[in-house]
Structure 1
Amino acid sequence: MSLTSQIADRSSPLSLFFEDHLPYWQDSVAHLRRTLGKAPTPVRPPWPDGVKPPWGLIGRGIDERIRLMTGPTRTVLLRPDDRHSARLQRAELGYVLSFLRAALRHRSDEVRTAVEAATAALAASLDTRQGTGAQDEEVLARHCYLAAMFDVRGGIEPTIDWLLRDGAATTLDSWAAAVPDAAVEDLVQLAGLAAPVFAPLAVALPAERKVAAPLFTGSRDVGGADADLILGGMIVDCKATIRPHRIGRAELYQLIGYALLDYDDIYQLDSAALYLARTGTLVRWDLDELLDLTGAEMGIGDLRDALARTLQTARAARREALAARWEAHRASQPGRSPVLAAWREELYSRLHTTMLATLKADAAPDGGNGE
């Protein structure tokens, strides 16, 4: 389960941990709402009446635009072979890419070549446009929307169909031209609100103090959670909701969760912030102050250790349940003949050995690298 799913599930180990160790989230939300009371009215998405905006794509699109606005950033590899971190390299784009590559195996060489070239061009564009000025804002908006499409977690098949619809005629320009104009207009107005907030921070910080889509030592304990941005010692979570006054428990615990998943203090975080994209408001807390507001009775180091124990115990329990289900399934499949039974027993034995080895490596503190 993802970080947000576990927070939403009041019975999950993570949610129970927060309720036990940080029970007074309402105080921090009250502070947030007092700040929002002084903020401008949220800008509305310019979509026609009766058309539901693609909220997820717009949200991820402005996340991407803000990352570009902050200029060059670094990707932190938690270990030299960490696949979770390596996927965040710009050339990998995002979650959809592996599905797109699989779909291309069944297409002609011409289609594969065209789509792969368009994908590479998008990656190169995002790389070279870091820190680009407003004269390219519409182009940037289109490319950020496309980048968001590569990171969707639901509706994979419609996304793949959209990316492949032009077949061998696919180019980055054809993709960009097909981005809805209302989405472009919305992202341009959101970028205009973000620039005064993030541009000064971008100038003040060297590249090594800026991290896009950071992962944490504890990310694997919650399904690979990655945050939006780290600037200096400040972790930033961006929200593009049109109703920022509804932000509450889930969003606050999500922000704190990212900070606590940094078990080894790799990022040396000292503050946490929510950026409300439709008001251009950055609400920032000193991290120790935020934990005090939410009722923490121990320091951040002890909270991280306690969270690690909680989540890793839950993972171990899930692994044991998975192994038990596997054994039950194996026992319920009698062979149809002595030869088939022997062959099936050998196959199951090999699969079982491989599965247990994988689970053991995943459970090891060093991820099974032997380091």
Structure 2
Amino acid sequence: MTVVSGRTSLTAVLSARNSPARSFIQERFGRWQDLQARYRESAGPLAIPGGPANPATIGSAFDWMVRFMVHPRPDLRLALIGVRIPRVRQAVHELALMLDYPDRDGSGSVGTARFSGPVAGSEADHQLLARACWALALLTDLYRVGPTPGSPLMALAPRSITAEKLLDLASPEAVEELRALRASADRILLPALAARHGAWAVGPTFAGSSLMNADADLIAAGLLLELKTSLGSKRRDGTRRSSLEAPTIMQLLGYVLLDFSDEFAIAAVGVYNARYAHLTTWHLPELLAELAGRPVDLKEERAAFHELLSTYV
């Protein structure tokens, strides 16, 4: 399959130790040890262990699952960006029709990225939806990281791909794991979001996304939420605990800083780890002040980050 090359991503920039953007965030907001300790203490035991399915694809598929849980027809364009072959794109549109997307003009609807929420999610059959989310995850990874050896997509003949063949890529084990993760989100995440009335966005991009690829998971009426399915770190006795890793903190801060014009009015940030059924949120001004060790003028920090990125990206 053909992948569209593009700008570097926020994730890649923050992973590079010599990156000016990473240094900017660490130097200004690097006091996160106490935050990490509180997070570890607040998280309970591992509730949903990993299985034989690829953990990275599970994470991406769960992102898609949550999008369908908060909107009946979330925007599918992220799964289409990396594919130029018309037949593959058509297969995604066929998949959309199976998930009750309208086809008013014959070209196929790709759904909605922004809406006034909360709203009811998709009513599609849960197993069908899990299989669809697995296929969408594989296509999204094609855009984000390029063709990956061992990816089930690589075994398909691109010009013979259909929606059914995409659905068949999900193993029973992957579907079962996604079912358990969905049940966790149904119980913990959705009730916490139900009171957040206002502007919602799934897969939101920011003003700064014009300088580097950056799309968050979910913004619900001012809450920027990062979704995780990580198993966490191992204790000496072999059990696992949920950890708030530095890359996750930097990624959240990166999204906040890239919202140069305060388009999303982000007032809080949070992390939901479905494997632990654990949701934590932080009031943004208080979090920034703690991580910086001083009061923070977010408008000034965004302007400085914008200037930094404009000089080297």
Instruction: Tell me the TM-score normalised to structure 1 length.
Output: 0.68
Structure 2 residue aligned with 1:162? 155
The answer to whether 1:252 aligns with 2:249 is yes
Question: Pick from 264, 278, 283: which aligns with 1:281?
Answer: 278
Aligned-residue sequence identity (percent) comes to: 28
Q: 1:92 to 1:67 in 2, by over 3 A?
A: closer
Conserved in 1, the CA contact under 8 Å of 2:46 and 2:242? no
- The residue type equivalent to 1:286 in the other structure is H
Conserved in 2, the CA contact under 8 Å of 1:91 and 1:120? no
Q: 1:24 to 1:203 in 2, by over 3 A?
A: closer
What are the equivalent positions in structure 2 for 1:63-142 lying under 5 Å apart? 63-72=63-72, 89-90=75-76, 93-98=79-84, 101=85, 112=87, 115-126=88-99, 128=101, 131-133=121-123, 136-142=125-131
Larger Rg: 1
Conserved in 2, the CA contact under 8 Å of 1:237 and 1:255? yes
Conserved in 2, the CA contact under 8 Å of 1:233 and 1:267? yes
Structure 1 residue aligned with 2:12? 5
Conserved in 2, the CA contact under 8 Å of 1:210 and 1:232? yes
**1:283 aligned counterpart, secondary structure:** strand
Conserved in 2, the CA contact under 8 Å of 1:66 and 1:198? no
Q: 1:267 to 1:250 in 2, by over 3 A?
A: same
Structure 1 residue aligned with 2:266? 269
> Matches of 1:200 and 1:62 in 2, distance apart?
17
Whose helix fraction is larger, Structure 1's or Structure 2's? 1
What are the equivalent positions in structure 2 for 1:27-66 lying under 5 Å apart? 27-36=34-43, 39-47=44-52, 53-66=53-66
**2:127 aligned counterpart, secondary structure:** helix
Conserved in 2, the CA contact under 8 Å of 1:276 and 1:282? yes
> Matches of 1:163 and 1:232 in 2, distance apart?
40
Q: 1:149 to 1:306 in 2, by over 3 A?
A: same
Indicate the RMSD between aligned Cα atoms, in angstroms: 2.5
Conserved in 2, the CA contact under 8 Å of 1:240 and 1:278? yes
Q: 1:124 to 1:29 in 2, by over 3 A?
A: farther
Conserved in 2, the CA contact under 8 Å of 1:69 and 1:198? no
1:12-50 CA-to-partner distances (Å, cap 9, x unmatched) read: 1111111221120212212211211xx232411232xxx
Conserved in 1, the CA contact under 8 Å of 2:78 and 2:140? no
**1:285 aligned counterpart, secondary structure:** strand
> Matches of 1:216 and 1:258 in 2, distance apart?
7
What are the equivalent positions in structure 2 for 1:288-367 lying under 5 Å apart? 288-295=285-292, 297=294, 298-315=296-313
- The residue type equivalent to 1:44 in the other structure is P
Question: Pick from 207, 215, 218: which aligns with 1:217?
Answer: 207
Whose strand fraction is larger, Structure 1's or Structure 2's? 2
- The residue type equivalent to 2:255 in the other structure is Y
Conserved in 2, the CA contact under 8 Å of 1:96 and 1:150? yes
1:118-176 CA-to-partner distances (Å, cap 9, x unmatched) read: 2212233456497135x8211111000011011013352655533437x64x4323331
Per-residue deviation at 1:72? 4.9
Q: 1:22 to 1:116 in 2, by over 3 A?
A: closer
Question: Pick from 107, 131, 139: which aligns with 1:150?
Answer: 139
> Matches of 2:243 and 2:169 in 1, distance apart?
33
What are the equivalent positions in structure 2 for 1:227-246 lying under 5 Å apart? 227-243=216-232, 245-246=242-243
Aligned pair count?
276
Structure 2 residue aligned with 1:187? 178
> Matches of 1:264 and 1:141 in 2, distance apart?
36
Conserved in 2, the CA contact under 8 Å of 1:237 and 1:275? yes
Q: 1:174 to 1:72 in 2, by over 3 A?
A: closer
Q: Compare 54-63 and 193-202 and name the one that shifted more.
A: 193-202
| Unmatched 5+ stretches in structure 2 | 1-7, 102-110, 112-119, 233-240
